[in-house]
Structure 1
Amino acid sequence: MANHNDLGRTGEALAKAHLEASGYEVIDENWTFGKAEVDLIAYKDGIIIFTEVKTRSGTGFGLPEDFVDARKQRLLAEAADEYIYLMNHKGEVRFDIISVLFHRNNNHTLKHIEDAFWPSAM
């Protein structure tokens, strides 16, 4: 398995642990619809939170959160629409990004960006 896949899985595990420690209930992981995959779907205070996790080992090409572009946001919105429909959720939704940046000494920085974007497709 490629190292970037392992890094991504590690980042998602750290993000899940962060959410749970912050009082969120993680209700789904790696949920797919069409070409979209939502890394973590959480619930807190009546809000469903669709969370994109981006993990990187350096900033040579930008910060991890910089990689959630308009195309990715559109795909997440389409998946969210379907998820909301299937779950018959009548409350609020939110889109978050969790950025995990690993440093050379194997430490990491985790940044939780709440309400990071509102896709135009919603």
Structure 2
Amino acid sequence: MAEHNELGKKGEDEAVAYLQDRGYTIIHRNWHSGKRELDIVAEKDRELIVAEVKTRRNERYGLPEDAVTNQKIRSIVASTDAYLKKFQIDLPVRFDIITVVGTEPPYHIEHIKEAFFPPIW
């Protein structure tokens, strides 16, 4: 596995542990709808949380959350719509971003709740 893929997997593992430590129930990881993917789908307090995880070695080239572009947001929202339909879920949805920075523990983790809202098309 490429080094950046390994770092990304470690970051997602850290994000899952972070959420579980805070009482979130992880429903799916890396759920696919065609070529699109949802990194983490979780539930807490009768709310569905879709979390996009961005992992970086450092912030030298910008903040990890800046990599969540408008195009990426549209893709996440479309995948979430497919997810809700497939599993017939009727819960409010929140879109979060979890950033993981570092190459070894302890990582710097930031949880940005309600990081974005679905665009109006």
TM exceeds 0.5?
yes
Give the aligned residue type for 1:19: L
Match of 2:113 in 1: 114
Give the aligned residue type for 2:20: E
The runs of at least 4 aligned residues of structure 1 exceeding 2 Å deviation read none
Inter-partner Cα distance in structure 2 for 1:38 and 1:7 = 18
Report if aligned partners of 1:31, 1:38 keep a CA contact under 8 Å in 2.
Answer: yes
SS at match of 2:16: helix
* Percentage of matched positions with identical amino acids: 42
Match of 1:29 in 2: 29
How does 1:25-104 map onto structure 2 within 5 Å?
Answer: 25-102=25-102
Report if aligned partners of 1:29, 1:41 keep a CA contact under 8 Å in 2.
Answer: yes
TM normalised by structure 1 equals 0.93
- The count of corresponding residues between Structure 1 and Structure 2 is 121
Q: What stretches of structure 2 of length at least 5 have no aligned partner? A: none
TM normalised by structure 2 equals 0.94
